[in-house]
Amino acid sequence: MNTFNQDMVDELNLILKFPTNSLLQGLKIHHDASQSMVNAASRLYAKGMITQPDGGYLTDLGIDVADHARHIQGALCTSKGGH
Protein backbone atom coordinates (compact mmCIF):
# COMPACT_ATOMS: atom_id res chain seq x y z
CA MET A 1 0.00 0.00 0.00
CA ASN A 2 1.50 3.29 -1.09
CA THR A 3 -1.28 5.72 -0.22
CA PHE A 4 -3.36 6.74 2.77
CA ASN A 5 -6.87 5.32 2.51
CA GLN A 6 -9.87 7.27 3.82
CA ASP A 7 -9.88 5.37 7.14
CA MET A 8 -6.25 6.39 7.73
CA VAL A 9 -7.00 10.01 6.83
CA ASP A 10 -9.93 10.02 9.26
CA GLU A 11 -7.73 8.54 11.99
CA LEU A 12 -4.97 11.09 11.37
CA ASN A 13 -7.48 13.95 11.41
CA LEU A 14 -8.92 12.71 14.69
CA ILE A 15 -5.56 12.18 16.35
CA LEU A 16 -4.62 15.75 15.38
CA LYS A 17 -7.64 17.00 17.35
CA PHE A 18 -6.19 15.80 20.66
CA PRO A 19 -4.81 18.64 22.79
CA THR A 20 -1.07 19.14 22.47
CA ASN A 21 -0.45 21.38 25.47
CA SER A 22 -1.15 18.78 28.18
CA LEU A 23 -1.23 15.02 28.41
CA LEU A 24 -3.88 15.51 31.12
CA GLN A 25 -6.39 16.72 28.55
CA GLY A 26 -8.32 14.27 26.47
CA LEU A 27 -11.03 14.22 23.85
CA LYS A 28 -14.62 13.01 23.92
CA ILE A 29 -16.39 11.96 20.74
CA HIS A 30 -20.02 13.00 21.24
CA HIS A 31 -23.08 11.16 19.97
CA ASP A 32 -23.67 13.82 17.31
CA ALA A 33 -20.17 13.44 15.79
CA SER A 34 -19.90 12.22 12.22
CA GLN A 35 -19.97 8.47 11.77
CA SER A 36 -16.49 8.62 10.22
CA MET A 37 -15.10 10.20 13.42
CA VAL A 38 -16.90 7.67 15.63
CA ASN A 39 -15.47 4.85 13.52
CA ALA A 40 -11.99 6.42 13.53
CA ALA A 41 -12.05 6.61 17.34
CA SER A 42 -13.06 2.98 17.56
CA ARG A 43 -10.20 1.94 15.26
CA LEU A 44 -7.65 4.07 17.15
CA TYR A 45 -8.80 2.45 20.39
CA ALA A 46 -8.47 -1.03 18.88
CA LYS A 47 -4.95 -0.14 17.73
CA GLY A 48 -4.00 0.99 21.24
CA MET A 49 -3.55 4.68 20.39
CA ILE A 50 -6.33 6.08 22.61
CA THR A 51 -7.63 4.95 25.98
CA GLN A 52 -11.37 4.82 25.25
CA PRO A 53 -13.42 3.81 22.20
CA ASP A 54 -15.00 7.28 22.26
CA GLY A 55 -11.81 9.26 22.82
CA GLY A 56 -10.18 9.49 26.21
CA TYR A 57 -6.48 10.18 26.21
CA LEU A 58 -3.63 9.39 23.87
CA THR A 59 -1.55 6.38 24.88
CA ASP A 60 2.24 6.44 24.52
CA LEU A 61 1.79 5.02 21.01
CA GLY A 62 -0.88 7.63 20.27
CA ILE A 63 1.44 10.42 21.41
CA ASP A 64 4.17 9.16 19.07
CA VAL A 65 1.75 8.90 16.15
CA ALA A 66 0.32 12.37 16.90
CA ASP A 67 3.85 13.84 16.88
CA HIS A 68 4.57 12.23 13.51
CA ALA A 69 1.20 13.35 12.14
CA ARG A 70 1.90 16.94 13.19
CA HIS A 71 5.29 16.82 11.45
CA ILE A 72 3.71 15.46 8.27
CA GLN A 73 0.95 18.06 8.42
CA GLY A 74 3.47 20.85 8.95
CA ALA A 75 5.64 19.69 6.06
CA LEU A 76 2.67 19.43 3.71
CA CYS A 77 1.37 22.86 4.72
CA THR A 78 4.71 24.55 4.13
CA SER A 79 5.03 26.28 0.79
CA LYS A 80 8.41 27.02 -0.72
CA GLY A 81 8.65 29.92 -3.08
CA GLY A 82 4.89 30.29 -3.28
CA HIS A 83 4.30 26.90 -4.89
Query: Helix or strand or coil: residue 56?
Result: strand
pTM, 2 dp: 0.86
Q: Domain span at residue 36?
A: 6-77
The answer to whether position 42 is within a domain reads yes
* Predicted confidence (pLDDT) at residue 57 exceeds the cutoff of 70: yes
Q: Assign 1 a pLDDT band (cuts: 50, 70, 90).
A: low
Average pLDDT over residues 36-49: 96
The edge-to-edge listing of strands for the beta sheet with 27-28 is 27-28, 55-58, 50-52
* Predicted confidence (pLDDT) at residue 36 exceeds the cutoff of 80: yes
The answer to whether position 83 is within a domain reads no
Return d(Cα 36, Cα 1) in angstroms, integer.
21
Domain total of the chain = 1
The answer to whether position 82 is within a domain reads no
The answer to whether position 1 is within a domain reads no
